[in-house]
Amino acid sequence: MSLDPQARAVLEAAAALGQPPLEETTPEEARRNFILRRQSAAAAPRPVREVSDGTVPGPAGDIPIRVYRPAEGVLPALVYFHGGGWVIGNLDTHDGTCRDLAAASGCAVISVDYRLAPEHPFPAPLDDCFAATAWVGANANGLKIDPRRIAVGGDSAGGHLAAGVAQMARDQSGPSLAYQLLIYPVTDRDFTTASYVANAEGFGLTRTGMQWFWNHFVPQHRSHEPYASPLRAPDLRGLPRTHVITAEYDVLRDDGRQYAERLRAAGVRTQYDDHPGLVHGFFGMAGQIDRAATIVREAGQLLGEALRTA
């Protein structure tokens, strides 16, 4: 279908900020610009019963986290990794998404502020995310979290990290995960897919932008290792139930679609939803795009239902 009119308006508003293309900026400039874009599009934060900041031990020091609890008592939990191409983004840029998912799912959401590339290239961001997830599993009782009902999730690079954490948890006897929510995830360093070609320019995230991100994240000679490119894993059996979400006008659409297809072929219970007319990043546009708000709410509801019946 044609581009959603509200999505088009969001893209036009972002263009009106006059920021340079991603590939013409330094990581520090890109981080500042991303924060400005998120702030310009931010909606009023959704109230959540309890929000608290803290840290958990990581492989190179403490990792900041933010915990959202929508209700009292022992809850299922989603460990969430923000998007931003492994280079940009933080707890604040994805605060709205985490609030929305907590409210819709009835689950605790633990947002992880992992180390960023290029200062901390692969596998540092993934190692932080795995360490935080393992800590949540080991400390579930103190967190009032049901250790049998823990999910991982994230958007874009965060979806990539969630997929990698799920594979690591399976391979390294890590925490038992019940679900993974992969929102337009990066799954392979392949810029020749049909979605990369069709959506290379004009829809927010560009092909050259993704090349910039990848070049900062991982050396070329390591980019096809399974944890760097989850689609390259030789065996996807034994992974948790999965929900993959993509957008029609997104260079990463085929990353998500192909990963969902491989998960299904491996016998993993997988739901794949591609959303016509929408663009990369729409989960963070729920305050401006009516359909995005509905999709975020429905994804949260599916997450909550899956974890409560796990």
pLDDT in tens, the chain (310 residues): 899 999 999 999 999 999 999 999 999 999 999 999 988 777 788 999 999 999 999 999 999 999 999 999 999 999 999 999 999 999 999 999 999 999 999 999 999 999 999 999 999 999 999 999 999 999 999 999 999 999 999 999 999 999 999 999 999 999 999 999 999 999 999 999 999 999 999 999 999 999 999 999 999 999 999 999 999 999 999 999 999 999 999 999 999 999 999 999 999 999 999 999 999 999 999 999 999 999 999 999 999 999 999 8
Whether omega before 230 lies within 30 degrees of 0, making that bond cis, reads no
Active site residue 188: no
Which residues make Cβ contacts (< 8 Å) with residue 206, sequence separation at least 6? 21, 22, 200, 251
Give me the pLDDT at residue 110, please. Answer: 98
**In this structure, are residues 105 and 88 in contact, taking their beta carbons and an 8 Å threshold?**
no
CA quadruple 218, 222, 224, 225: dihedral positive or negative?
negative
Question: Closest by alpha carbon to 132, among 198, 66, 186?
Answer: 66
Q: What is the DSSP string of 107-161?
A: SEEEEE----TTTS-TTHHHHHHHHHHHHHHHTHHHHTEEEEEEEEEEETHHHHH
pTM of the model: 0.98
Give me the pLDDT at residue 7, please. Answer: 97
Sort residue 307 into left (φ over 0), alpha (ψ -120 to 50) or beta. alpha
The catalytic position among 100, 113, 127, 250 is 250
Give me the pLDDT at residue 41, please. Answer: 73
Give me the pLDDT at residue 1, please. Answer: 84
**In this structure, are residues 240 and 166 in contact, taking their beta carbons and an 8 Å threshold?**
yes
The catalytic position among 156, 229, 255, 274 is 156
CATH architecture of the domain covering 5-308: 3-Layer(aba) Sandwich (3.40)
Give me the pLDDT at residue 40, please. Answer: 76
Give me the pLDDT at residue 256, please. Answer: 99
Euclidean distance between the first and final Cα of the chain, in Å? 36
Return the structure tokens found at 43: 């909606």
Question: What is the number of H-type helices and E-type strands within the chain?
Answer: 10, 8
**In this structure, are residues 186 and 160 in contact, taking their beta carbons and an 8 Å threshold?**
yes
Q: How far is CA 130 from CA 162, 216, 219, in A?
A: 9, 20, 21
Domain ranges of the chain: 5-308
Give me the pLDDT at residue 38, please. Answer: 87
CA quadruple 213, 216, 222, 225: dihedral positive or negative?
negative
Active site residue 105: no
Give me the pLDDT at residue 39, please. Answer: 83
